[in-house]
Each structure stands twice: as C-alpha cells, then as structure tokens.
Structure 1
C-alpha cells in the first residue's frame, strides 16, 4: 500500500483554535463548559460533509451502520473491562432509578452486545459494524484545547467480528480505507506507530492473547510494506494498535486513525459463532477508525489547509458574484442550479460591496463565479478558481455539472479542464 500522502497539501502553519473561530466554524461558552465546543453553520457544513463521506465509503466497503445509546449501566463497563482499567477517564456514574448509569467512554461494549443479540454463523463473518457515535471522556481542564482534546467526542468507529484467519485481511483493508480517506482530505500521515503495552496494571492480563494480536498487526504492516515504530505504553487496555499519527502546526503529534486487534472483549462478553464444523468458536474483534473523532479530524483539516478546504469539504463551494443589480436574477438562478446539484452555493450581492471586495471575501471559496451583463444575456458564467486561475466563460449548466462531478468524486483538484494541474 502506498504511504498516506497528498502532493497537493502544504505544510501546516495554522492554529485551528484561532482560525476556526476566525472562520466561524466553532466556538465555546463557559455556560456550556470547557471541552464542549459548539459547531456554527459553516463548521457544521464541514462536519456533515465529512460524516457523509465516511458513511458512504464504509457502505461501499461492506459495513452496516448501527445506532447505540450513549449511556450504559455500570455493569456493562465492568464486563468489558473499562471500569477496572479505564475508570479514571470516565465520568462518574449517575444514580437513576436504583441503577448506576455511565456516559460511555467507548462504543465497543455496545457493539459487542449488538453482535450477541442473536446467534451467528461463520457464513456471516466478517461482520463489519460501523457507527458515528458519541462517547465521553472526563479529560482534565488543563489538557483541553480547541477540537483536539474535548470531553464529548463524535467518533467514526467500527468493529469487525471475524474468524482468526480473517484478522490480517480485515486489518489491512482498514488501513487501505484510511489511506484513501487521507488522500481525499488532503492529509498525510506523519508516521505509523505500533502501540504496545507498557509496565503497570492498566492492561488486561492475558499474555498469550497480547502476543497473538501483536503478531497479527506486525503481519499486516509487513504485508503492506509500511514502515513503523513500536512504542511501549500506548496500547489500549485490551490490545495492541496500529496508530496513524498526524502532526499539527507546531509539530506536535496526535493519533487520528487506528486499527486494533482485540481477543479480550470477545472473551469477556462470551461472543461466539457456529463454525463449518458445527462447533462454537470465538470471533476476533478488530476495532478501526478511519478518520478518528470528527473533532480532531476537522482540527487537522483546518491546520493543514488553513481554511482552504478541498472543494467537497468547503462550507461554501460556489460564490456567485453578480457585477451589478441587473444581474441579480441570473446569479440567483445559477446559484439555485448549483444547489439543485447538491452544491453549497450563495449569491454575494452587489449591495455587499464592490466586485473586488466580494472576490477577496470569497478567497477561500473553491469556485467564484462572476456574472456580468454578457454572461447573464448568454446563460454563461465566468469562473475564477481559488488558486488564482480564471476560466473562459462557459455555459452555467456545464460549469455547475462539472463542479458537481468533481465534488461528488471527492477530488482534491479544483478543475479537470484546460489549465488544470
């Protein structure tokens, strides 16, 4: 597999906390609380586009989507092992009707219960279960920051229940899905990390299971020819991980995507399937997240692109600029055509300033479309691309259709016609 790179991306020099607020993507309020950012309309548009992209890619890769509650009984996390090994990072239990309820720190216990909701056969495996779901971490206020460390997390999560012989293939396919997503987002991996257990008691005690899981992940990295660095003390409490590391504007690393092999939770939840021999067997659980948390993914996108997102992610994709009031009707008609094709388009009216001022305000919009008297009379548009290129006037219908096709294909490039690089 090729390394996760994008030749069109540039070195990150932006702090997402400052730029995200400047661009009106997200904010915070002390009445809501630290580590609980809210999303403004433009930020919500980026987030929605990212979520729809990953859902579509997962469906194409054979995943089935589910929903599960963000709460669970304390007993659930005692069974999974989170209560014993992860309690310090969880919010305190809430007493409700004589039961203790907990905001979930992870989606995997719920998915284990969904798997065991009925009997399973080897013919169903691998069973790929995905969810964009909320989870909660009781992070200390001193480590919270922007979108990278928050207390309420929307996670692009999935769990693959498979036979032992399917583990390497499924983990490799997950890494290839991650590479494809990074290319579409214009991101690159700083490095791949094999995260292993360290000293101390925060890990489930099962040496044989740990070795089997580690051997599987090492085999996947070798199979794909990916260089990696092994680090102790970075594993999940239930198993080792391949972490895809990214770097922020200051060179600080964080984990965005991950693939994990877990023999522990299938054992704890007594998961099983009927094999070809008619006997009951234990499945393996492969955890994987393609874009990680939506919050951290958007933070990384802001820092890498400085607000000039790939067109499919841009809050506003087409800015329509009538030269004068006489072209307002034609501009509105073209914007409506774009919207009908699923594009996010708005008219920047002459009342909002000179044409030059409106073009400058739209500098981060991938496509700026000028509509003058000649264009309005002939059903044409005069497009300007965000990278500074100007295209010859062409029919509005043709331009909108070609932009919609590029956006629908999740292309990083802005144009595929004359002058395209």
Structure 2
C-alpha cells in the first residue's frame, strides 16, 4: 500500500495551506472528482435501500447538544460556542441530534417505520494538532451518516441490512475489512449511565453479528448464515451506546475505523421521540446510527492507498485520455473527447504540445484508457489504437466502440478494463 499523504499531493488530489489551518485540507479538481463519484455511489446505494435524504445546518444552539448529551460528555472535543445575541451556537460534532429533530418534526405512526434518514453532512471536531494527518484525521469531517428510526423488533434486522450495505460498498470499492469490532464501554470512560439500555443495545448488536452471513462470494451468501466473526473491545463505545466498528488497515498496518453501526436508546428518550403503535398507544423508537463509508476524507485516503492512484474506472478522475500523434490528428482527438463528455465520461486530450508521445503515455499511466490517433487511424476514419492502464493493447477499434466499452465499465463499476465485447 501507498502513503496517501504523499501520493494524494503528488497526484494533485488534495493539499493544505497554513492560512486555512491544520486539519483543514482542501480538494483539488481531480480529488473533487473522486469525492463526488464516491458520494454519488453512496447516495444511489442508500436510495435503493429505502433511505430518504435530508439537509441540516452545521450549527445548532448549545441547548441542542445539552439535550443530546454531547455537551456534558463530549464538549472537550467540540469547538467553543459562538455568541449570537443572547444565544450560543456550536459547530455540530455529529448529525444525530439534527436527525432526531427531523424525526420529531411531525407525528409518526408504526406504519412509517423503519424510517431511514440519510445525509452527507459536515461535522466538526476540535482534534489536537498532534493527531492530525492527511485526510485520515481532520477537523472538518464530511460524514456519510444515516439514522434509522424503528421498533425494537426491527432493530436487529436494520443493523444486518446496514452491514450488508457496508459489505457491498467494500466489494465495489476494492476495500478489505481488517476485522469487525464490537465496541463496548470501558472503565474510566464518559458514558451515559443507564446499564439496562447498554445491555439491550449490546444484545441487539450481538444478535445482528451472529445472524449476518459470513463474508463469502456473493452467490454463497444466501446459504451461509454462519455469522460474522468479531472481537469485543472495551473502551471503544460511543458515549450513548455500543457499536459495531468495521476496521481497516493503512499503509503502515495501523488500524482505523471506517464504517460503523450503532444502536441508541438514549437519544430517543432525551428528545422524547414517539410513534403510535398498532395498539393505538405511544411507543419510543430505537435509533440505529450507521455510516457505510464513514467520512469521505478517510474513505478517499484509504482508496488512494489501496489503489495507488489507479482508481477503478468509475472513480478515476480521468477515465480516457486521447493522444493525437501529431497536430494533424488533434481535431479528431478533440472530437472524440466531445463525444465522450456528451456520454458523461471524464476525458481529455494530451496533445503533441505536451511532449513526445512516449512522455504523454507515461504521464497518463494511471488513466484507465488511452486512445492513440496517428496517421493510420486517422486515414481509416473513426479508428483509435487502444492502450490500457494494465499494459495491454487490445488493438484498433472504432471510437464509438471504445466509448461504449468505457461507459459500460463506468456504469457497472466492474474492475475488468477490457472484457468480452
């Protein structure tokens, strides 16, 4: 694996500036493409899984976080309040209090549950400067977050479904989970003092882990209800409840948490959340927190390291580069790029003004597809000589055929660059 801090800068994906401050990286155009593609993938996956997306503000009154419990137990990791007249507002440390307010914005019935609310939103942590680094530890975090409000009977199933979303995303992204961790409270930590709620939440997570199919080839999943192997770890729980953490390993072998699923009985009680049951009585929902790819920053950092900048076609900042051998072929090259852009592909021309053909090919070594147009290809009409990132040369094809193949690979998110026609 590669170190994303060096490679990400070398590839022009992100950078930092002292005037912005430590732990506040900015995204350059190619990095923004990777980030946008990842965000769109997650949104599509969530929509297919029955989630509804919302937007909520990055600020909240201090009172909001007092109700949620963040202020009492977590304020050391929050930025200081800002005075606005007689009120104090705070940069949010998490999205869950805002989503609790979305839930309680109107009366809810058991027929609406499970209600799955998702947002890709910013949150802020006052991290010490000594722990900041690259994209993995930052102060402004853009989290793929969601909260499922459900009955107690539905909770274990929702946790299993969230684990399924995570595993599918890892397969599509080329990420391998190092291990699954059941994160529990430990001595000396700051946790909500309600042993019964902790017991119930832990039991639900254990049930979901033990009934989820083991990681096997997709065709075997339905017949393999063996449970996911996991390790319990004390002292790693959230302040309001236990969680399942999906651990990944970086280039140096250090483990970090990327994805998480949590069961929370605490905040529904703090915010007075209710739904009307089939019996006509008022009941309290369970709140399942889950993040499929964690923070966008940490996810992209890991993708840089896993792929070494050679991203899958659908994530690649540039999917196709067209290389005219000489100036006489430039018009045709730009025409092919216009056709690619019209199909929604990311393509550009690397013309003779940028160096020799060999130098341009080397400069585009991480681009999945290279289309060379020389005198012979131009004389044959709509023909290009194809070179693939993995070194293969499938030969000459029509420009239309090449664009069709690239579009298919980008659409199906497959890893094979040049499969059957």
Question: In structure 2, what is the Cα distance between the partners aligned to 1:369 and 1:29?
Answer: 37
| Partner SS for 1:169 | helix
TM-score (norm 1): 0.95
Which residue among 154, 161, 178 is the counterpart of 2:149?
161
Match of 2:5 among 10, 14, 17: 17
Q: How many residues align?
A: 406
CA–CA separation in structure 1 for the residues paired with 2:418 and 2:93: 43
The answer to whether residue 111 in structure 2 is matched with residue 108 in structure 1 is no
C-alpha distance in structure 2 between counterparts of 1:384 and 1:417, whole Å: 16
* Equivalent in 398, 406, 410 of residue 409 of structure 2: 406
1:9 matched residue in structure 2: none
Identify which range, 380-389 or 256-265, moves more after superposition.
Answer: 380-389
Q: Is the 1:365–1:386 Cα contact (8 Å) retained in structure 2? A: yes
Alpha-carbon distance in 2 for matches of 1:152, 1:201: 24
Q: Deviation at 1:103?
A: 0.2
What's 2:363 paired with? 361
Deviations 1:205-255 (A, max 9, x none): 111111111111111111111111100000000111110000000000000
- Report the TM-score, using the length of structure 2 for normalisation: 0.95
Q: 1:5 matched to which residue of 2?
A: none
Q: Distance in 1 between matches of 2:251 and 2:33?
A: 23
Kindly indicate whether the alpha-carbon contact (under 8 Å) linking 1:341 and 1:401 is maintained by their aligned counterparts in 2: no
Alignment correspondent of 1:53: 41
Ranges in structure 1 where 5+ consecutive residues have no aligned partner:
1-11
After superposition, what is the alpha-carbon deviation per residue over 1:355-386, rounded to whole angstroms, capped at 9, x for unaligned? 11100000011111111223223201211111
Residue 177 in 1 paired to residue 180 in 2? no
- SS of 1:257's partner is strand
How does 1:209-224 map onto structure 2 within 5 Å?
209-224=197-212
Counterparts of 1:264 and 1:201, CA distance in 2: 17
Report the Cα offset of residue 148 of structure 1: 0.3
Does the Cα contact within 8 Å between 2:115 and 2:149 map onto a contact in 1? yes
In structure 2, distance between residues paired with 1:209 and 1:300: 34
What is the SS of the residue equivalent to 2:386? strand
Q: How does 1:293-308 map to 2 (within 5 A)?
A: 293-308=295-310
- How far apart, in 2, do the equivalents of 1:175 and 1:227 lie? 13
Indicate the residue corresponding to 2:215 in structure 1. none
Question: 1:179-194 counterparts in 2 under 5 A?
Answer: 179-194=167-182
Distance in 2 between the 1:171 and 1:376 partners? 56
- Cα distance in 2 for residues equivalent to 1:272 and 1:371: 65
Poorly superposed stretches of 4+, deviation over 4 Å = none
Contact 1:185 1:412 in 2 (8 A): no
1:289 aligns with 2:277: no
In 1, are the aligned partners of 2:68 and 2:267 still within 8 Å (CA)? yes
1:117 maps onto 2:105 in alignment: yes
How far apart, in 2, do the equivalents of 1:191 and 1:369 lie? 41
Q: CA deviation at 1:180?
A: 0.8
* Counterparts of residues 215-234 of structure 1 (less than 5 Å): 215-224=203-212, 225-234=227-236
